[in-house]
Amino acid sequence: MSALLHGAAVARDFAALAEHLSASTVAVADGNAGAGSGVIWTADGTIVTNAHVVRRRDVQVVLSDGRRFPAPVVRRDERRDLALLRIDATGLPAAEPREEPGPRAGELLVALGHPLGVANALSMGIAHAAVTHRGTRFVQADLRLQPGNSGGPLADVHGRIVGINSMVVAGGLALAVPVDAVREFVGAVAAPGPLGVHLAAARLPDGREVAVVVRVEPGSRAERAGILVGDTIAARDVARLRSASSLAVGRGGMQIIITIPHEAASARAA
């Protein structure tokens, strides 16, 4: 009887672990070019995935609750197989990166992702060691990965992220980008610069308060996004202009969604 009770407790623990990881794991869709997974890195919309998952400039991200967002690719690192995406959302369930070194050889690890179209599939195995593959350091683990797992979390049994799943090598062993390399990659991304618009307060006939664009700085993020003089922005959006990845803009009596680049062109920085 005690063995049965212990087995039931273990099953509950792993079910809770899968639920915990799935909350911070997203599906990444790159049009018809393929699909993979990603990890919510910060609650304000920073998502990490593999560079090979996102070949286009703009992709779609689907959260665990079913919400879908456009996700501009902010930065890519082909050598480390990492990419950073931004979505226009806040209060997201961010993953918990592990602080201590590791994982240790023989440590139990789990991977979660969307392999072959199966949502939130959990696989389990053990860590082997840190290895170097084509000049880049990876965590190697004996667990099963399939197409669609790429970009998803490799975690310890407490749900803390130890790596971002990247590829499978000979013998079926999984390789993941170690969490310290992910931290370094994410930390290297500068905060968004000024949007580059001059605004004036106005009130629409229906009583709504808006900000009217009266000038767009040459070479700015606003110019690259296609924002025009005369466009209106809802007053509630003004406070998040710098960090927004997209904006609802009023133009000619219609509302359009404009994607905002994270950085200004380096040769024409505002």
Residues annotated as part of the active site:
52, 81, 150
Distance CA 149, CA 115 (A): 5
Handedness of CA 220, 222, 228, 230 (dihedral sign): negative
- Phi and psi at residue 113, to the nearest 5°: -175, -160
Distance CA 99, CA 21 (A): 17
Our measurement of the distance from residue 45's CA atom to the centroid of its chain's CA atoms, rounded to an integer in Å, reads: 7
Distance CA 109, CA 111 (A): 7
**How many other CB atoms sit within 10 Å of the CB of residue 95?**
25
Residues whose CB falls within 8 Å of the CB of residue 228, separated by 6 or more in sequence, listed in order: 213, 216, 251
Distance CA 200, CA 195 (A): 15
Distance CA 210, CA 251 (A): 12
The CA distances from residue 181 to 72, 145, 260, 270, in Å, are 22, 21, 27, 30
The CA distances from residue 87 to 41, 66, 91, in Å, are 11, 14, 12
Is the distance from CB of 237 to CB of 249 less than 8 angstroms? no
SS3 243: coil
